[in-house]
Amino acid sequence: MCGIVGYIGEKEKKEVILSGLKELEYRGYDSAGFAVSTDGDMKYFKAVGKLENLAAKTRDFASMGWGAAIGHTRWATHGKPTEINAHPHLGEYSFVIHNGIIENYKEIKDELIEAGVQFVSQTDTEVIVHLFERYNASEKDPFEAYKKTVARLKGAFATLLVTKAAPGEIFFAKNAAPLVVAVSGEEVLFSSSDAPLIGMAESAYYLEDGSFGRAKRGAVEIYDANSNLIKPNFAPLPKDRGYAQKDGYRFFMEKEIYEQSRVIGECLMGRVVGEEIRLEVNDETFKDIDEIIICACGTSYHAALAASYIFERVAKIRTSVQVASEFRYKEPFLSPRALFVVISQSGETADTLEALKIAKNAGLKTLAVCNVDNSSIVRLAGEVILTRAGIEKGVASTKAFATQIVCLWMIALRLACVRGTIGADELSREIAALRNIPSVANFEPALQERIFRLAKHYMHGHGFFFIGRDIFYPLALEGALKLKEISYLHAEGYPAGEMKHGPIALADDGLYVIALLPETLLYDKTRSNVEELAARDAFITAISPREFELADDFVRTPKYDHPMSEFFAMMVVLQLLALEVALRLGNDVDMPRNLAKSVTVE
């Protein structure tokens, strides 16, 4: 959510900033802008919409020679997505960009207005630059003014500031929103994630909450939350940016659906060894616990729900699943014998991160399932399992969801072994099924072509019901979410058995029902629920290895002897269905409207 790029160096700064922001497009945005400081002169540009609008606006602008530049892609929170509200925000002689939310901005804004400051935007960000310039009027050192400014801010923020009072420097601060700094020779770079830094620098430092500092040619000063100067430990960056290219696919989402077979194999590598599950997690983490609490948002929440069935069925342990945005405010009662598991693709999900902090403060054992190493959640959690999905640029998650499910399944099996709730034969069966998942997720293009032909049926009507039972209920939720995210059509996921408890009132010939009918799990029960909908003229799309005569559309999945194999086969079908319906509607499936990849604000 939102993107930050900063640069100090002699390269063409416009190109560095635009290239970096391009790498952050997947995070979601609705406007963009940048400011450049060279030879004591400062220029800024803003544009609403895609980055090409900003590039077109600055076609004739050049900024060679040593200097500093900051750039930003904005996902609107305070104020509409307009050019005035786009970043950078300016004072009389300074510019600022910011990700996150300043919770006490109204208090600061009122104070500044009373002092005669005039605001031009509706944003919370603008208070930062005006507060800085007010302090700088009385301080002898601009950096001291910046320190006082940062000390006043409450909430989540990653911010860069350039000012004529400190030519060629960038002041920076980070709290509860990601910010990375890298050095290459005398050049200094900043970003919200490491993607824009790859190929520009060899190593980077992931700033901790509460840290702040200043950067100039060949030098970076970083202070911790207590204003102590620290010596950062820079971590190596990947060397090749090519891993984030489309490789001939039309969209990143399409590529990432096809990548699932490979990344699942990588997720299993070194963790499924012979007849044993070997995880990076110390077995002591699984001892002396009598409850699992899983906390997540969005797609990760659906992965958590599916995993809850596996934990209770295989590890015989009470498992609850919490929506992170609700959990953090409900004053939860936490048993000290609970293992607290958080799931996040980005590792920066604000609500999930705050829930993890609550669990840590309560003294619980904590475990994170995450896709991004060095992210805030990874650094905070007691134990970590990385999903190894690789960068996921499509906003609607696909391969991250698949690898989350695989990781949680392995955790449940390892926990079952530690607790002694699984026999050798059952463990062998589960491991055989795990090993088979990469082949399950490996599909032929003919399946996508089939779904493309079916997608034309779903352009009209008043909505979709995705229904399933057991682990296929969370999968139905995920299928509905995928369709909502990229097609903008109304869709709901339901437990199949809940139809007659209210939702069936909506059944008519304008309702599309996507029915998950696995042969290995509650087939007859689910079939009966689907028949009730068919009797009310709903349009039935059955996804099953077994032909269903009442189906208006039918997608046949292969026969498997394990429910999780059927789960992954149907997962692929649902992802492709959402993709092809959205493409029929002419939508940009990689960057759907109003959405952000990394949700770093509440």
Tokens of 313: 């069925």
* Residue 597 pLDDT greater than 80, yes or no: no
- Residues 373-396 have a mean pLDDT of 90
Question: Distance between CA atoms of 357 and 89, rounded to whole angstroms?
Answer: 32
Q: What are phi and psi of 92, to 5 degrees?
A: -80, -30
Candidate list 2, 295, 297, 407, residue with the active-site label:
2
* Residue 601 pLDDT greater than 70, yes or no: no
- Residues 31-37 have a mean pLDDT of 96
- pLDDT attached to residue 52: 92
pLDDT band, residue 599 (cuts 50/70/90): low
Rg (CA), the chain: 25
H/E element holding 60? none
* Residue 590 pLDDT greater than 60, yes or no: yes
CA dihedral (458, 464, 469, 473) positive or negative? positive
As a residue count, the chain comes to 602
- Is 2 labeled as catalytic in the residue annotation? yes
pTM: predicted TM-score of the whole model, two decimal places? 0.74
Work out the percent of the chain whose per-residue pLDDT is above 90: 78
Q: DSSP letter string over 316-361? A: --EEEEEEHHHHTTS-----TTEEEEEEESSS--HHHHHHHHHHHH
Question: Distance between CA atoms of 582 and 487, rounded to whole angstroms?
Answer: 4
Question: Distance between CA atoms of 165 and 146, rounded to whole angstroms?
Answer: 11
Local structure of 154: helix, strand or coil:
coil
- Residues 139-160 have a mean pLDDT of 94
Q: Output helix, strand, coil percentages for the chain, rounded to the nearest 5.
A: 40, 25, 35
- pLDDT attached to residue 600: 53
Asked whether 295 and 327 are in contact (CB, 8 A), the reply is yes
- pLDDT attached to residue 39: 82
From 183-197, 463-477, 496-510, the region with the lowest mean pLDDT: 496-510
- Residues 207-236 have a mean pLDDT of 94
Name every residue whose Cβ is closer than 8 Å to that of residue 226 and which is 6 or more positions away in sequence.
none
11 CA to centre of own chain: 31
| pLDDT per position as a tens digit, 294-335 | 999 999 999 999 999 999 999 999 999 999 999 988 888 999
Tokens of 210: 């509460």
Work out the percent of the chain whose per-residue pLDDT is above 70: 97
Tokens of 25: 């497009």
From 101-110, 276-285, 501-510, 528-537, the region with the lowest mean pLDDT: 501-510
- Residues 515-524 have a mean pLDDT of 95
- pLDDT attached to residue 67: 95
- pLDDT attached to residue 510: 87
Candidate list 14, 255, 482, 597, residue with the active-site label:
597
- pLDDT attached to residue 29: 80
